[in-house]
């Protein structure tokens, strides 16, 4: 699937990426990406998740390829295709918005209203060497229609746990949309998020890809979930927040 030569990996790197596997079959590989690891590219001189996929190289010299990306500081479920036909199938499914993604995030206070939809076009801006997104008027040149849904799962005087669903796939979409309603994500310095939560420093952007449902190349749909990581759970506990055993109700 790629002409690039294999990236040499240490035994520790191979063991680490293999420990992140949530689901694997002949067609797909689903991983639980840790925070702090770039999906692809980037300027940090370290292996990306894309590089680490060489740990799954097949006998024909090919390795899985990522179907979508997560921001470097976002943890959770990420999907890769193990074969060229699977990559084509899943790429088309992504373009057709047939991948359903559910996220968990921490905010400094529960949104008002507690649940809703954010329908706000986004525009990409380059500031120096960094890329940003901002809410823009629908008729602004380059503005892309963007829709997110949110609901509050748990709230206390210290903050809230929210569930987020992006219905479009714009860069930084959930981060910018939540900031646009006055609830930037905890740890998101770029878009105005608080850097402390429940009296503790936020170790990173507190955003976790909790669940992914997608059409499988063999037919049907597959749902894969990733439990909240330790740093996320620790801040929730400090704030007296609890993740529901099963989220009740539906998005608006």
Is 209 within 8 Å of 70 (Cβ atoms)?
A: yes
Tell me the average pLDDT across 51-55: 96
| Residue 41 predicted with pLDDT over 90 | no
What pLDDT score was predicted for residue 129?
Answer: 84
What tens digit of pLDDT does each residue of 147-204 get? Answer: 999 999 999 999 999 999 999 999 999 999 999 999 999 999 999 999 999 999 999 9
What tens digit of pLDDT does each residue of 26-36 get? Answer: 999 999 999 99
What tens digit of pLDDT does each residue of 203-240 get? Answer: 999 999 999 999 999 999 999 999 999 999 999 999 99
Confidence of residue 55 (pLDDT cuts 50, 70, 90): very high
Strand, coil or helix: 252: coil
Is 212 within 8 Å of 223 (Cβ atoms)?
A: yes
What pLDDT score was predicted for residue 245?
Answer: 77
| Residue 1 predicted with pLDDT over 80 | no
What residues form DSSP beta bridges with 75?
A: 208
Global pTM? 0.93
Share of the chain above pLDDT 90, in %: 87
Q: Which two tokens stand for residue 228?
A: 């909240």
- Check if 71 is active-site: yes
Question: Where do we find the tokens 């035994």?
Answer: 11
User: How far apart, in whole angstroms, are the C-alpha atoms of residue 160 and residue 152?
Assistant: 7
Tell me the average pLDDT across 132-142: 95
Confidence of residue 246 (pLDDT cuts 50, 70, 90): low
Is 170 within 8 Å of 144 (Cβ atoms)?
A: yes
User: How far apart, in whole angstroms, are the C-alpha atoms of residue 145 and residue 120?
Assistant: 7
| Residue 247 predicted with pLDDT over 80 | no
| Residue 140 predicted with pLDDT over 80 | yes
Tell me the average pLDDT across 137-155: 97
What pLDDT score was predicted for residue 127?
Answer: 87
Give me the catalytic one of 50, 51, 71, 73: 71
| Residue 82 predicted with pLDDT over 80 | yes
Tell me the average pLDDT across 72-89: 97
| Residue 73 predicted with pLDDT over 60 | yes
In order of 116, 123, 138, 147, 209, the CA distances from 152 in angstroms are 9, 27, 27, 17, 16
What pLDDT score was predicted for residue 215?
Answer: 98
What pLDDT score was predicted for residue 46?
Answer: 72
């Amino acid at each position: 699937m790629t002409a690039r030569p294999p990236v040499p990996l240490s035994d520790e790197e191979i063991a680490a990426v293999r420990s992140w596997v949530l689901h694997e079959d002949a067609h797909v590989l689903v991983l639980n990406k840790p925070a702090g690891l770039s999906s692809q590219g980037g300027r940090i001189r370290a292996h990306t998740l894309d590089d680490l996929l060489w740990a799954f190289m097949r006998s024909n010299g090919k390795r899985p390829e990522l179907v979508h990306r997560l921001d470097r500081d976002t943890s959770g479920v990420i999907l890769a295709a193990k074969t060229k036909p699977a990559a084509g199938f899943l790429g088309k499914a992504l373009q057709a918005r047939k991948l359903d993604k559910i996220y968990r995030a921490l905010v400094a206070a529960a949104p008002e209203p507690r649940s809703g939809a954010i329908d706000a076009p986004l525009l990409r801006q380059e500031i120096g060497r960094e890329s940003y997104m901002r809410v823009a008027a629908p008729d602004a040149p380059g503005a892309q229609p963007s829709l997110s849904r949110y609901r509050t799962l748990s709230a206390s005087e210290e903050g809230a746990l929210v569930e987020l669903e992006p219905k479009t796939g714009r860069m930084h979409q959930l981060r910018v949309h939540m900031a646009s309603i006055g609830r930037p994500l905890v740890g998101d310095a770029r878009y105005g998020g608080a850097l402390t939560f429940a009296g503790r420093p936020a170790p990173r952007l507190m955003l976790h890809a909790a669940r992914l449902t997608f059409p499988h190349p063999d037919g049907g749909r597959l749902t894969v979930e990733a439990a909240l990581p330790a740093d996320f759970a620790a801040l929730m506990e400090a704030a007296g927040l609890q993740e529901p055993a099963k989220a009740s109700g539906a998005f608006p």
